[in-house]
Structure 1
């Protein structure tokens, strides 16, 4: 019998973002990493040390019900895969953070060039690039 584990909101959000970006991680890995780095305690709440040291920024609920950091720096700490990109490539909307075409292309191409990516991850990357081409996404 498979056990259905309910993970804290910050873990679910980190996991969803990493999967959306095509990274092959489990919720358990995200949870353990966040605990190991002192971002959250075992109940999923941000630690005081994480707040004091800026690992967890103030978050606000978006119109789709997720909680997102209010600053680009906070977003990058929550989603380290974006640290390599300049802050100017990101914008906060009522639905949460969005990245411009340059970032989307770069992330998709990283996934396509990763020899360990799965067929599903590659298809997601191709889909992201196709959407950019259809919308005329410019850098």
Structure 2
């Protein structure tokens, strides 16, 4: 998150900056639910689409994607303690599940 703010891609609220849009640093999501989900959640934007699926109106992530997102938060020295605790809890839960499940 901090890296994206420092690079001027998003503001402190997580929204893309006008500069990022004008310079083509980000893409505005279209109608693809996975593309839109990744645009709204930059933490998972780099994870390949194969780790996401749409079920009903929800975008689900497989265990790999959840693990990557949680680990990224845990390794971020600027992440708030509450966010790190939630990430650790989620990581513990995912590690105890069947790794073929979607969340």
TM-score range, shorter chain: 0.5 to 0.7
Instruction: Show the counterpart of 2:78.
Output: 116
Matched, 1:57 2:30: yes
Q: Residue in 2 aligned with 1:21?
A: none
Which structure has the larger Rg?
Answer: 1
Note the alpha carbon deviations across 1:31-72, whole angstroms, 9 max, x for none.
7x35x439xxxxxxxxxxxxxxx71423xxxxxxxxxxx442
User: What residue in structure 2 maps to residue 62 of structure 1?
Assistant: none
User: CA shift at 1:109, angstroms?
Assistant: 0.9
Instruction: Give yes or no for the alignment of 1:73 onto 2:56.
Output: no
1:138: Cα distance to partner? 4.7
Give the 3-state SS of the residue equivalent to 1:135 in structure 2. Answer: coil
Counterpart in the other structure of 2:18: 37
Number of aligned residue pairs: give it: 85
Displacement of 1:125 after TM fit? 0.9
Q: TM-score, normalised to structure 1's length? A: 0.49
Using the size of structure 2 for normalisation, the TM-score is: 0.63
Unmatched segments (≥5 aa) in structure 1:
1-17, 19-27, 39-53, 59-69
